Structure 1
Amino acid sequence: MKAIVQDRYGSSDVLELRDIGTPSPGSGEVLIAVRGAAVDAGVWHLMSGRPYLLRLMGYGLRAPKVPVRGREVSGRVEAVGEGVSAFRAGDEVFGICEGSFAEYATARQDKLAHKPAGLPLEEAAALPISGLTALQALRDAGRVRPGHRVLVIGAAGGVGTLAVQLAKAFGAHVTGVCSTAKTELVRGLGADEVIDYTREEFADGTRHYDLVLDTAGNRSLSHLRRALTPRGTLVIIGGEGGGRWLGGMERILRAALLNPFVRHGLKGFMAVELQADLEVLGRYVEEGALSPAVQYTCPLAGAPEAIDRQHRGEARGKILITP
C-alpha cells in the first residue's frame, strides 16, 4: 500500500510517499480502508519532533517510533482482530489511529465510532481530534452554560470552527476571532460576532467574556485575562512557538502556577480520546448542529504541503488527505 512515511525528524522534506506493507489488525483492533485523513496541529509536531518534550513522552527519541504520519481517520472496516465486537467488515467509521496518511490503517476499536448519518465518509475524518478538543474544552474545562459569552480565538482553524458551532449548540453567545480573509467563514458557522484581529483588539477592556478559548497559542496570559469577566475562565488549547524543549507548553505551565492566586480560572487543556465523546460528536452532526469546515482535499502526495499550510495558519477549517 502507499503511505506517507518518515525515517527522521525534520521539516516536511523528510516525508516520502512510499509503498509499504499493509498492516494487520491485532487483538482489539480493526483494519480500515482509509477514505479520509485530516491534518491536525499535532501532525507537524510529530513530524518535526518538536518540542523535545514530545520525544520524551514515548514518540521516539531520535526518530519517530511510528513512521507513518496522520492520526485522524475515516473509512470502511476491512477486517477485525480478535476480541472486536463493536464493528464488523463493511462498517463506516471515524476516529483516531496511528498512521492514517495511508491506504490502510489499524485502529483500536475503543477509539472509533460509527460514521454519523448524512456526513460524507471522507469528511468524517475532520471530526475526531479537533472535535474532541473543542467539545471537551467547552463542556469539561470551560463548563459553558446557556447565556455564557464565549470568545473563540483562532475561530477559523480546525478546532475553532468546531468550537464555534458547539458553543452555539450549548446556548452560548459566541464571538470568533480570526483574520480578515476568514471572517465570512466564521460568521457562516453561526458566530454572533466576529472580530478581525488585524483591525480590532478583542482585549481592549470594553468587552468581557465568561469563557475564552485560545486555540492560537501566541498571546500572553496577561493579555488574554483582560478579556475575561472577574470570574471568567481561560482555556489554553495546546500552543505554538516557545522554546525547543517545551514549546507552547510553557504558557500552560505558567497558567497552572498562577491559577491558585487569581480569581480567574486559568486552565491548560489536552483532549482525552474517548469513544463516548466521538459518539457525542456524531449525534451533533446528525442533529444538524455540527458540520466540519473543509477547506480542500488533496491526495497523499499533497500531504507535506498540507502540513506546512496548517502550521503556517493558512488553513480555513480542515485540510483532508484522500488516499
Structure 2
Amino acid sequence: MSENAYAKSGVNIEAGYEVVSRIKKHVVKTERLGVMGTLGGFGGIFDLSALNVKEPVLISGTDGVGTKLMLAIQADKHDTIGIDCVAMCVNDIIAAGAEPLYFLDYIATGKNIPEKLEQVIAGVAEGCIQSGVALIGGETAEMPGMYGTNDYDLAGFAVGVAEKVNLIDGEKNVKAGDVLLGLPSSGIHSNGYSLVRKIFSGFDLNTFLPELNAPLKEILLTPTKIYVKELLPLIKENKINGIAHVTGGGFHENLPRMFSNDLAAEIIEGSWEILPIFKALEKYGEIKHKEMYEIFNMGIGMVLAVDAGSAEAIKFELNAFEIGKIVERQDQAVVIK
C-alpha cells in the first residue's frame, strides 16, 4: 500500500514524523541516571546496574486520565493533562515505597495534529521532571474511525525500584496508635470526573463561580499533585509505616489498602480545610456529605501512617495535616468522626 493510499484512509505518516521531531526537546529534559538509547527505538532502555541498589525490587504502575480528558478537549487545553497521567502512575509507585525510574506514554487519536500532541507530551515531560523519572519511550497511534477528529486518549506506564528492606508493607508495619498524616491535594486530581462532568454539565467552562474564586475550567483542569520527591527521603529512612494514595473510591476504598483487616482508620473531620471545589460539588450535585468521602479525596491526596513519636517532626517537614489515627477495628475500616 502506498503512503498516498494510507493517507486517504485518514492516517498522516508525515504528521507522525513531525510529532516525534517536536517532542524530542521535551524528552531530553527528563533524562536521568540509568537512561540508555535514544527516542525512536523499538523499546525504551534503562540500565538498572547504574543505580546503587543492593537488593532491587521493581514495582510498576499503569493508569490513564479518565474522563478528565474530555474536559481538556472541550476547553482546548492540553498542556497539563500529561502531568495527571504521570502522577497517577508514580504516586502509586511511591506509595509502595519505590523510587519511580522511567515512564512510557501511549496516545491514541482520531487525527494526528502535531501542535496539539506536542502540548500533551510537554505535560507528560513536566510530570516526569516533577517526579524525577525519565521519559524513555511511548507510542502515538492515529486511529480514524475509532476516535473523532479532535478526540484522543492518554495512558501511561511507569517502573520504580526499591531496596527490598525499604518496601512499605502496611499490613505488617501499620499498628494501632499510629498517627495518620494527610498531604494536601491540588484539587480533584484525576478521579470522579464522570460525576464531576455530570454535575457541571449545564455550566460553561469559563464560568466564574464565586465559591471557587476562579474560572471553572481552571479549577477542573488543575493537574494532579505529584508526591514523589517529598516522600522519597522519608521512605529511605524507614520513617513511614504505610501510605495510601487517595484516588477513585476516596477514603473508604483506599485507606484500608494500607493496613490489616483488624485495624481501622479513624479520621477527624475538620482537621484540615476541605477545598472549595468539593463544597461546590456537594452543593451543585446534591451529594450526601458522607458519600463525598467515598468518591473524592476531599483535599487529601496521600495519607501516611507513622509512629506517634515521630509524627510531629514528619508533619512539620512535609507541611502535612494530622488527620486521625489507626485504631483497633470495631465495625467499619474507615470511620469519619
- Verify same fold: TM over 0.5: no
User: TM-score, normalized by length of structure 1?
Assistant: 0.28
Structure (1/2) with the larger helix percentage: 2
User: TM-score, normalized by length of structure 2?
Assistant: 0.27
- Give 1 or 2 for the bigger CA radius of gyration: 2
